[in-house]
């Protein structure tokens, strides 16, 4: 029986801004979504209770919903693996996954124009070099979902990749699959979420190979990897409120923070409001209560 001991849990094999990844064995990883939160690309000193559990369980929800479209790395929620001996407060934020050979492409799907796509469009009328209809407003839907891949930079910012650059990296067959699966999974989830009152404006997916089979890895369609907007508040022509992080962003701006680390400590009422937003996103999407 495999056992994650205290020693291995206190020693992640990879620690990202928000998630910590541990080795279970040569083929298996434990991915823990912590309560850490980032805003304006900086990790804040204050965590949001239950955020990790929400993100973990939203990913698990989508992996299960989309498994007919493409296989994925999820083996089990950590809470369903008592043999691993993970403390319950960590288990609810964690999943056991198959270790894959990661493809170094961030597969971005965009249903609505905003962010870097909006900045480029305003300057040149294009999004990643493709011409777009004139007269679009910030937040408008694209006529068709776009695949706008970027590099996965270890250091510094991700850079846009042309489709030819994706082909050079992974070959034509896999490049086509990355594009088609990214769009297919996104369209399924976007339509589902919209019927539950959440617009998923765009998202980022990662893929890997196990024995030459392409699978989805990492997190899937969470508020950290996607832009979630409230259907009821959606109003194109301006930057949209974030379903989950808006209370944090608003407070940070009111506090006059210059977006350079260190960020200020969040007051309790902002933490609580934000926690409620994450839990609301979870229950709207899944119809379930958070474990
Ligand atoms: N099944 C998997 N096999 C191998 N690597 C994975 C798998 N799922 C996710 N990863 C990688 O694990 C890492 C998770 O890190 P993350 O917490 O997102 O931080 P960051 O992206 O900032 O490095 C990413 O590098 C991701 O590509
Ligand atoms: Mg990541």
Which residue's alpha carbon is nearest to atom 1 within ligand 1? 99
Q: Is the pLDDT of residue 2 over 80?
A: no
Q: Is the pLDDT of residue 105 over 90?
A: yes
Indicate which atom in ligand 1 lies nearest the CA of residue 99.
3
Q: Cα of 135 to ligand 1 centre, how many Å?
A: 38
Q: Checking phi first, is residue 287 left (phi over 0); if not, alpha (psi -120 to 50) or beta?
A: left
| pLDDT tens digits, one per residue of 200-213 | 999 999 999 999 99
Q: Is the CB of 73 under 6 A from ligand 1?
A: yes
Q: Is the CB of 12 under 6 A from ligand 1?
A: no
What is the distance between the alpha carbons of residues 44 and 37, in angstroms, rounded to a whole number? 6
- Confidence label for 92 from pLDDT (cuts 50, 70 and 90): very high
Which residue's alpha carbon is nearest to atom 12 within ligand 1? 218
Q: Is the CB of 138 under 6 A from ligand 1?
A: no
> Within the chain, which residue ranges are assigned CATH 3.30.470.20?
102-233
Residues 6+ apart with CB under 8 A from 223: 54, 55, 58, 242, 243, 244, 245, 278, 281
Q: Look over the chain and give the mean of its residue pLDDT values, rounded to a whole number.
A: 95
> Which run of H or E residues covers position 206?
strand 198-210
pTM score, two decimals?
0.96
Q: Is the CB of 217 under 6 A from ligand 1?
A: yes
Q: What is the pLDDT of residue 10?
A: 66
User: Does residue 48 contact residue 247 with C-beta atoms inside 8 Å?
Assistant: no
Percentage of the chain modeled with pLDDT above 70: 97
Phi, psi of 4 (to 5 degrees): -85, 115
Q: Is the CB of 100 under 6 A from ligand 1?
A: yes
Secondary structure (3-state) at 142: strand
In this predicted model, which residue has the larger pLDDT, 28 or 10?
A: 28
Q: Is the CB of 96 under 6 A from ligand 1?
A: no
> Within the chain, which residue ranges are assigned CATH 3.30.200.20?
1-99
Give the class (CATH, top level) of 102-233. Answer: alpha beta
Phi, psi of 22 (to 5 degrees): -120, 150
Q: What is the pLDDT of residue 136?
A: 98
In this predicted model, which residue has the larger pLDDT, 71 or 3?
A: 71
Q: What angle do CA 237, 243, 245 make, to 5 degrees?
A: 105
User: Does residue 221 contact residue 203 with C-beta atoms inside 8 Å?
Assistant: yes
- Confidence label for 44 from pLDDT (cuts 50, 70 and 90): very high
| CATH topology (fold) of 1-99 | Phosphorylase Kinase; domain 1 (3.30.200)
């Amino acid at each position: 029986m495999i056992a994650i001991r205290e020693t291995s849990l206190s020693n992640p094999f990879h620690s990202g801004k928000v998630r910590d990844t541990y080795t279970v064995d040569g083929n298996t990883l434990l991915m823990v979504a912590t309560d850490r939160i980032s805003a304006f690309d900086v990790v804040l000193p204050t965590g949001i209770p239950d955020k990790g559990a929400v993100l973990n369980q939203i990913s698990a929800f989508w992996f299960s919903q989309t498994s007919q479209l493409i296989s994925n790395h999820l083996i089990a929620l950590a809470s369903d693996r008592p043999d691993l001996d993970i403390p319950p407060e960590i288990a609810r934020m964690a999943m056991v996954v198959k270790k894959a050979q990661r493809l170094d492409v961030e597969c971005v799907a965009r249903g609505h124009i905003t962010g870097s796509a909006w900045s480029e469009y305003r300057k040149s009328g294009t999004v990643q070099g493709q011409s777009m209809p004139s007269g679009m407003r910030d937040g408008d839907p694209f006529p068709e979902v776009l695949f706008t891949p970027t590099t996965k930079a270890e250091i510094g910012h991700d850079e846009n990749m042309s489709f030819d650059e994706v082909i050079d990296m992974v070959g034509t067959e896999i490049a086509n699959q990355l594009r088609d699966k990214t769009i297919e999974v996104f369209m399924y989830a976007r339509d589902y979420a919209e019927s539950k009152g959440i617009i998923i404006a765009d998202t980022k997916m990662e893929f890997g190979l196990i024995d030459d089979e392409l699978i989805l890895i990492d997190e899937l369609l969470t508020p950290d990897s996607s832009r979630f907007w409230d259907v009821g508040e959606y109003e194109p022509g301006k930057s949209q409120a974030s379903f989950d992080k808006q209370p944090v962003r608003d407070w940070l701006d009111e506090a006059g923070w210059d977006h350079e680390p260190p960020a200020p400590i969040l007051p309790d009422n902002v933490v609580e409001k934000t926690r409620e937003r994450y839990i609301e996103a979870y229950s709207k999407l899944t119809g379930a209560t958070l474990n």
